[in-house]
Structure formats: structure tokens, C-alpha cells
Amino acid sequence: MAAAPVWSVDPRTGKQREQVAVEATAQEVDTAVRAARAARGALADRAVRSAFLRSAAAGLDAARDALVETADAETALGPVRLTGELARTGYQLRAFADIVDEGAFLDVVIDHPDDTATPPVPDLRRHKVPLGVVAVYSASNFPFAFSVAGGDTASALAAGCPVVVKAHPDHPALSELVAKVLRRAAAGHGIPEGVIGLVHGFEAGIELIRHPSVAAAGFTGSVRGGRALFDAAAARPVPIPFHGELGSLNPVLVTEAAAAERGETIGAGLAGSMTLGVGQFCVKPGLVLVPSGAGGDQLVKALTDAVSDTEAGVLLDHRMRDNFVAGVRERAELAEVDSPVTPGAGGEHTVSAGVLTVPAEKLAEEGAHDLLLEECFGPVTVVARYAEEAEAAAVLSRLPGNLTASVQLSSEEAAGQGRGAEILAELTPLAGRVVVNAWPTGVAVAPAQHHGGPYPATTSTSTSVGGTAIERWLRPVAYQNAPAALLPAELRDENPLGLPRRFNGVLER
């Protein structure tokens, strides 16, 4: 049977643009993984790794116009958004190059023998080493930052792990172009091009997670798809780490005092956040708890007015469009759910943004309204009106894990008067990032960033954004009583590589 073709499709029209590739066979997946495994040794030198990452970023910058044009044709996300995302991707690659140069990620610890300890301590030296080949599953909604050259790939390469990427079907042509840029950068430093593998097709993704030479995987996508891969990773004869980002409702709590103080401002800000990128951000606020009363009414009116003025937009593909239209229709048909602005089909290829409102008491207990507590991918948010704080707390207590949880406080509450600190403590178990008086859309690439959360937001406690994302692709190894002449350079007393380390209990910089 001939391999199925892989087409690039224009989501603005639903028409095929060009055939980009064919779906990879099991043999082709095996070839890609073997080539990646063979490239491991070329990544052993940290100086080579960091130079490779910087060259990859420079290559993306040089190819910006062609990359953005192709990305826009396949995703309809627009040149402005895509240019910014590409710049973020290059910044991320350079940031990991800096981390590689510094070397603190190796977590070097050296303890000399101590016979006076109980029990006695032998000579122990520990650092971290790469896991091996990493499988990366691209996301649809971030064709640069969470795709072929995105955070999973950048952090894996920084750790010294080759990568095989399963391309997302929504941007196959872009995936091929980005892979070529990365391979050219690799070749410029004597690294085999197989260090970046790329395969297309659903079955190829299954073969990839099952391949015995794949040591770990990173995924960004749906709960259904991510859970299937997570289960496959765990069911292998040798299970492997699976770092998956699956789904998030990203709840927002607006206090009564905040609504009274600036309800209109909050409503307008919410509209901008939930419609950003046509509602296709993984941190889109999908559930907002708003108090009853005049302040809440002003908030909902401002939200309604702003969303009403939002133009219809194109989702990443027609399957997502169909799911959105069906999903909002099913939610709007529930009892006591109102639609101040009706979400749904905006045209043959577009969707219109909307708002659904419901009494919070309907969500406080298990029942037919539980559908409103599930993520709906696209430009819609659910506003739950609560009459008292206990109702809002009851709704929050029923939520699964999230990437973010946000609160809008009044100026007095933010200054420490009232329940501000208590609310933060209540939100902390729900999410990996707690946002105060801001909106969750926008994930800064910074050392202190955490992009993850309790299941189903992610399948692990690690972050996929920021410097500590590198930790997912490393494992610690300790050497006991190893002769100095046999030790890796990283673990020698004289510290020839000048690494940050903890030496006999003292942190050395």
C-alpha cells in the first residue's frame, strides 16, 4: 500500500496548498530514531552544543520572511503574531545556549570521604547526564514556539539529547522548512543532520513513542491524544518519562471588591484575553467566577460589548472549527445558561467569539452542567455568577488541575487587607502558575517561569517553558570511590571546566 500523502492546507479556505511529504512508515521512523541515536556523541561537547543552538537561532532569523509567510498560509495566525512568536523561539534557543555555557544544570556535587559521619561517607561525586533520544510532538497553536524548534526541542538539545519530531498536520510545510534550518546549523558545527529527525503521520507518532531507542517524550495537545501517548509510554517494556501538556480551563476569580472598584476594566481585559489568537491559547481563561451585584453587572456588560465588537476569526483547521461550533452549541443548550454574545460559526470558514453565563450554584455540585468545567478550544468563556464567596469556593474545589489560576483583587486586597493571601493559598493547589491582577495569556520565557500544572494540565510536575525545562531530559549519576584518573572532567577536584558545584557542602560559583 502506498504511503498516504501529507498535504499543506489553507485554513482560510479549507483547500489543499501542496503535497509536502508522505506519512512515515515504521521503517522510516526506525531510520530517523537510529540516526538521532548515532548523533549523540556529537552533542557531548557543551561548547559545540551552545554554538549549535546559537546558529539555529541565527538561521531562523535569517529565514524569517519565508518562515512567517509559510506559517501564516498554514495557520492563519497572521504575520504580526507569527513574527513575534518566531523571535521568541530564537530567544529561547539562545537562552538555552547560555544555560549550557554556565553549566549549573549539570548539578555537580562532590563529597570527599568522611569516616566520622554515621554511617561513614565514601568518596561520592554526582552530576547529570542526557537521557538519550527525545520524541517531540508538535502543537498546532504555536507553530514555532511549541513545534520543531520549540521549547521541547531546544531544551532537549541543550541537555545533549538528539530529537525526533512528530510534525503537526496543521503546519507540515513549515515543519519541513524549520527542520532544514536546524539541520544546516547542525552541519555547520560537525553535528550529523540526524540530530533533528522529522516524521509525519498519526501512525508514525505511535511508532515513535514505542521505539526502544526513544528515552523520553514531550507533547503539547489534547487530553485524548496526550493520554493515549502517555499510556503507551508507560506500557512499554521499559517505560519512559512522558512530559505532556494536555488541557486547561484556567479559572479566574473576581472578588466582589475588585468588581466594584473596576468592573468595566476587568471585563474589557477579559475580552482581550479570551479572544487573543481566536481563543487558541492553552492559557485562555475559560471559566470566570464573577460576583452578583452592580460591579459584576458592569463587568459582564463591558465583556459583552468588547466581545460583540470582535471580528470572526479562522481556527487552525476545520476539524477544530467543527468541534468548537458543536461544543458551544451543546453548552448553550444547558438549562439556565445564557448567551449575552452567542459563540459559534461566523461564516463558512470562521467562528465568532462569544460569552456564556450561568449561576455558579449550577457548577458547585456534580450534574449536567459539568460540561462547562471542560476546556472548549476557541474564543469562548463561561462566566459563573456567584452570590456569596462559599459558592465560588465550591466551584473551585471541583476543578481538575490547570496551567494557570488567576484572581482579580481590589487595591486594598492587593495591599494585604482582606482575603487576598487566603485566596492565593486556595488557588495554589489548582495550578502551576497563579496570576494576580493580570491575565494568564502570555507565557514569558524567563528563569522563574513555570508552565505546567496538576493533571490534566500536564502529566508531570516539570515546566515546558524557562530554563528548568532542561531538567526533563537529564538523569543523575553518582560515582563512588572512582579513581581520579577515570572521572569525567565535570567531577574532578580541580574543576577544569570551571563549573558551578557543591564541593564538600560548600556552594561554589
Antiparallel, parallel or unpaired: β 124-130 and 474-480: antiparallel
Q: Do residues 155 and 236 share a domain?
A: yes
4 belongs to a structural domain? no
What does the pLDDT look like over 191-222, one tens digit per residue? 999 999 999 999 999 999 999 999 999 999 99
Over range 449-457, report the average pLDDT. 96
Antiparallel, parallel or unpaired: β 242-245 and 214-220: parallel
Over range 405-409, report the average pLDDT. 98
Q: In whole angstroms, how far apart are CA 333 and each of 336, 337, 361, 368? A: 9, 7, 17, 11
Indicate the number of domains in the chain.
2
Cβ pair 22, 6 in contact under 8 A:
yes
pTM of the model: 0.96
Edge-to-edge strand list for the sheet holding 124-130: 474-480, 124-130, 108-111, 501-503, 506-508
Cβ pair 348, 308 in contact under 8 A:
no
454 belongs to a structural domain? no
Q: Do residues 65 and 199 share a domain?
A: yes
223: containing domain: 23-246+461-473
Over range 291-318, report the average pLDDT. 97
Catalytic: 282?
yes
Is the model's pLDDT at 505 over the cut of 70?
Answer: yes
Over range 410-418, report the average pLDDT. 95
Is the model's pLDDT at 368 over the cut of 90?
Answer: no
74, 176, 282, 413: the active-site residue: 282
What does the pLDDT look like over 299-310, one tens digit per residue? 999 999 999 999
28, 176, 207, 245: the active-site residue: 245
pLDDT band at 48 (very low <50, low <70, confident <90, very high): very high
Q: What is the pLDDT of residue 1?
A: 58
Q: Do residues 261 and 401 share a domain?
A: yes
Q: Kindly report the CATH number assigned to the domain that includes residue 353.
A: 3.40.309.10
Catalytic: 245?
yes
Q: Do residues 167 and 59 share a domain?
A: yes
User: Strand ranges (DSSP E) for 226-286?
Assistant: 242-245, 251-254
500 belongs to a structural domain? no
Over range 451-467, report the average pLDDT. 96
Q: Do residues 365 and 346 share a domain?
A: yes
Q: Do residues 191 and 257 share a domain?
A: no
> Using only C-alpha atoms, what is the Rg of the chain?
25
CA 377 to chain CA centroid, nearest Å = 15
Cβ pair 218, 136 in contact under 8 A:
yes
133 belongs to a structural domain? yes
Query: In sequence order, which residues have a C-beta less than 8 Å from that of residue 125 and are 6 or more positions away?
Result: 108, 109, 110, 111, 478, 479, 482, 487, 491
pLDDT band at 509 (very low <50, low <70, confident <90, very high): confident
Q: What is the pLDDT of residue 3?
A: 81
Antiparallel, parallel or unpaired: β 474-480 and 501-503: unpaired
Q: In whole angstroms, how far apart are CA 310 and each of 271, 305, 328, 369, 402? A: 9, 9, 17, 27, 27
Q: Do residues 203 and 149 share a domain?
A: yes
Q: Do residues 382 and 287 share a domain?
A: yes
pLDDT band at 289 (very low <50, low <70, confident <90, very high): very high
488 belongs to a structural domain? no
Q: Kindly report the CATH number assigned to the domain that includes residue 57.
A: 3.40.605.10
67 belongs to a structural domain? yes
- Provide the 10 A C-beta neighbour count for residue 63: 17
Cβ pair 298, 266 in contact under 8 A:
no
- The rounded mean pLDDT for the chain is 97
Cis peptide before 291 (omega within 30 of 0): no
Block residue for cell numbers 466551584: 395
Which of 419, 436, 453 corresponds to the end of one domain? Answer: 436
Q: Do residues 209 and 258 share a domain?
A: no
Query: In sequence order, which residues have a C-beta less than 8 Å from that of residue 169 and are 6 or more positions away?
Result: 6, 200, 317
Cβ pair 33, 211 in contact under 8 A:
yes
Over range 81-110, report the average pLDDT. 98
Task: Say how far apart CA 137 and CA 209 lie, in whole Å.
Answer: 10
Query: In sequence order, which residues have a C-beta less than 8 Å from that of residue 438 and are 6 or more positions away?
Result: 406
Q: What is the pLDDT of residue 26?
A: 97
487 belongs to a structural domain? no
CA 271 to chain CA centroid, nearest Å = 22
| DSSP letters spanning 316-355 | SSHHHHHHHHHHHHHHHTSTT-EEEE--EE-SSS-EE-EE
pLDDT band at 327 (very low <50, low <70, confident <90, very high): very high
Task: Say how far apart CA 94 and CA 49 lie, in whole Å.
Answer: 11
448 belongs to a structural domain? no
Over range 116-145, report the average pLDDT. 97
- Provide the 10 A C-beta neighbour count for residue 302: 20
CA 92 to chain CA centroid, nearest Å = 13
Which of 421, 436, 451 corresponds to the end of one domain? Answer: 436
Of 157, 156, 164, 155, residue with least CA distance to 136: 164
Q: Do residues 159 and 40 share a domain?
A: yes
Q: Do residues 54 and 123 share a domain?
A: yes
Q: Do residues 234 and 374 share a domain?
A: no
